């Protein structure tokens, strides 16, 4: 059955991966489109939507945009599924298999629209759902754009994985093989090692389901009319050029959080965005206010990372022994295990009471922009990386999974704005790296981070590449929605 595309107002459907980072960046994109007068439907899983209602101000904020709708869809998992930490791949797999027919039905029955814009005229979907969503979009003749919420560096590596496998560079043959350079990812031959490939490439068996999801979904990217990337040309231009050989129409419009901030600057409709799935503890801002400039190392491992108790203890000893002042985000489920096992030992807490502050979840963008923060010990999630880049804060990278292994290598070897300690969790090394970042090599890293921060800001200002690309995206959505031909 052919879907009748309405010639009334355009309506963009946005469907994110239900996790903190992707929801955050796609809500920012949604707001940027709504600011330009486009009608947007933001489709959340029921679980994510409930968390946003609890911890963020989304209802009131988006109610100010005409035609903005929130809708929900089931992720196909039972109510008591945790949907956190290590289980994110189960969520992705479930949506890819279980939500397909509901998604199609929602589009066909026009239940995602409003009176003035009843039909979806453009779909923007997280690329991880690119397979089924593109099948449906093509069947219904609705233009589809894949939003890859990862860095271009990881997208490019994913696109090359079949070649890497063909060239017999995978599977990795044990620990002694981890520093071998990879030859089949053009542009990265000089520095990308086995250990820097996305974590799923560590599977011994190449039919591993997580590896397959990551690779197969990325291979659907060239089927989309266009790709949106939350990055900017001055950061990843050479890598984006490689991706363009397979996906010619790319809108690099990041860093989205900065872009939104600038475009909202003169707009009274909405002045700040809070897209948290966790309860934010703002008490750390007053504590930071009382600290000397650039004296604090901010420590956060994002929304998924789970570490062992042993790793937690090594980080704490490293921190305590380095004498660094710190703000630590200790998510409730950061450490595997229950009760005492998952707690920071009291004697270590005591030792650092004077120098540290702990919260369950921080207002991270604000923390990174705070003058007291001089470094970031991070898991290298793409959003955290971009937020640190914009704030000009150098990083120590301890990647956990997925794209983070690639991001951290680019931070240290390409952009030279931090240190990569992947696969190591030893108190002596943590102590030394903290000392390098915050004292010994502080000048060198600060200078590099300031320069990249300047370029990031320039890209989203009028005349910058991301600014231009966002205008082009909006214009193309309008043209294709009205039945005229846009550039995609």
Residues that bind ligand UDP (CB under 6 A): 19-21, 24, 276, 300, 302-304, 329, 361-362, 364-365, 381-384, 387
Shortest Å, Cβ 401 to ligand UDP = 8
Smaller CB separation from ligand UDP, 106 or 306:
306
Identity of the residue, 246 or 369, whose beta carbon is nearer to ligand UDP in the bound complex: 369
Nearer to ligand UDP, 240 or 362 (CB): 362
Beta bridge partners of 419: 396
Nearer to ligand UDP, 65 or 382 (CB): 382
* Beta carbons of 295 and 435 less than 8 angstroms apart: no
Which residue has the CB atom at the shortest distance from ligand UDP?
381
Compute the least distance from the CB of residue 300 to ligand UDP, in Å. Answer: 4
Contact (Cβ atoms closer than 8 angstroms) between residue 267 and residue 35: yes
Shortest reach from residue 391's CB to ligand UDP, in Å: 11
Token duo for residue 2: 């052919």
Residue 54: CB atoms within 10 A of its CB come to 11
How far is residue 83's CA from residue 462's CA, in Å, rounded to a whole number? Answer: 40
Quick check: helix, strand or coil at residue 303?
coil
Least distance to ligand UDP, CB of residue 386, Å:
8
| Residue 132 host element (H or E) | helix 130-140
Min dist. Cβ of residue 82 to ligand UDP (A): 15
Q: Which residues pair with 335 in a beta bridge?
A: 307
Q: Which helix or strand (DSSP H or E) is residue 47 part of?
A: helix 46-55
Tokens 């005349």, residue located? 463
Q: How far is the CB of 156 from ligand UDP (least distance, A)?
A: 18
* Minimum CB–partner distance for residue 206 and ligand UDP (Å): 25
In the structure, how many helices (H) and strands (E) does the chain have? 19, 13
Residue 266: phi and psi, rounded to 5, are: -105, 20
Nearer to ligand UDP, 198 or 302 (CB): 302
From residue 238, how far is each of 148, 207, 231, 234 by CA, in Å?
A: 17, 31, 12, 9
Q: Would you say 45 or 383 has its CB closer to ligand UDP?
A: 383
Alpha helices in 345-402 (DSSP H): 346-352, 364-369, 382-391
Q: How far is the CB of 232 from ligand UDP (least distance, A)?
A: 16
Label residue 267 exposed, middle or buried (CB < 10 Å: 0-12, 13-18, 19+): exposed
Residue with tokens 């990083």: 395
Minimum CB distance to ligand UDP smaller for 24 or for 466: 24
Residue with smaller CB distance to ligand UDP, 23 or 473:
23
Q: How far is the CB of 80 from ligand UDP (least distance, A)?
A: 22
Tell the smallest beta-carbon distance from residue 21 to ligand UDP (Å).
3
| Cβ closest to ligand UDP, residue 93 vs residue 432 | 93
Q: Which residues contact 357 (CB under 8 A, 6 or more apart)?
A: 284, 287, 288, 326, 327, 328
Residue the block writes with tokens 């992947």: 422
Q: Which is nearer to ligand UDP, 203 or 358 (CB)?
A: 358
CB-count exposure of residue 422 (10 Å: 0-12, 13-18, 19+):
buried
Instruction: Tally the residues of the chain.
Output: 488
């Amino acid at each position: 059955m052919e879907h009748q595309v309405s010639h009334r107002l355009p309506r963009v459907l946005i469907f994110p991966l239900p996790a903190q980072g992707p929801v955050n960046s796609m809500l920012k994109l949604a707001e940027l489109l709504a600011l330009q007068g486009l009608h947007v439907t933001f489709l959340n899983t029921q679980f994510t939507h409930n968390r946003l209602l609890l911890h963020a101000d989304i209802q009131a904020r988006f109610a100010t945009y005409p035609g903005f709708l929130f809708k929900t869809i089931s992720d196909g998992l039972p109510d008591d599924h945790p949907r956190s930490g290590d289980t994110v791949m189960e969520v992705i797999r479930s949506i890819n298999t279980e939500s397909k027919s509901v998604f199609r039905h929602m589009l066909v029955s026009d239940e995602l629209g409003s009176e003035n814009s009843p039909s979806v005229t453009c779909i923007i979907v997280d690329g991880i759902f690119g397979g089924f969503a593109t099948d449906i979009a093509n069947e219904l003749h609705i233009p589809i754009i894949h939003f890859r919420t990862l860095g271009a560096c990881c997208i490019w590596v994913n696109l090359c994985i079949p070649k890497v496998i063909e060239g017999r560079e995978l599977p990795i043959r044990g620990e002694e093989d981890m520093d071998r350079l990879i030859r089949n990812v053009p542009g990265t031959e000089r520095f990308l090692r086995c250990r820097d490939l996305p974590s799923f490439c560590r599977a011994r068996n190449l039919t591993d389901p997580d590896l397959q999801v990551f690779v197969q979904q990325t291979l659907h990217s060239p089927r989309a009319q266009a790709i949106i990337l939350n990055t900017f040309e001055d950061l990843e231009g050479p890598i984006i050029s490689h991706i363009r050989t397979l996906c010619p129409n790319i809108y690099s419009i990041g860093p989205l959080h900065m872009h939104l901030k600038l475009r909202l600057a003169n707009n009274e409709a909405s002045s700040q965005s809070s897209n948290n799935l966790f309860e934010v503890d703002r008490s750390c801002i007053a504590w930071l206010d009382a600290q000397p400039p650039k004296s604090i190392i901010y420590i956060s491992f994002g929304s998924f990372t789970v570490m062992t108790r042993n790793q937690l203890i090594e980080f704490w000893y490293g921190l305590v022994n380095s004498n660094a002042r710190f703000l630590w985000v200790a998510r409730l489920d950061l450490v595997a295990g229950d009760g005492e096992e998952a707690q920071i030992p009291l004697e270590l807490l005591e030792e650092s009471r004077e120098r540290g502050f702990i919260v369950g979840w921080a207002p991270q963008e604000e923390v990174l922009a705070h003058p007291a923060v001089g470094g970031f010990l991070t898991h290298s999630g793409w959003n955290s990386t971009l937020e640190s880049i914009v704030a000009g804060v150098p990083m120590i990278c301890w990647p956990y999974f997925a794209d983070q292994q690639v991001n951290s290598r680019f931070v240290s070897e390409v952009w030279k704005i931090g240190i990569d300690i992947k696969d190591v969790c030893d108190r002596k090394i943590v102590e030394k790296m903290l000392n390098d970042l915050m004292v010994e090599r502080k000048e060198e890293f600060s200078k590099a981070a300031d320069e990249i921060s300047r370029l990031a800001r320039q890209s989203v200002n009028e005349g910058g590449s991301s600014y231009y690309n966002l205008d082009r995206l909006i214009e193309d959505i309008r043209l294709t929605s009205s039945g005229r031909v846009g550039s995609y």
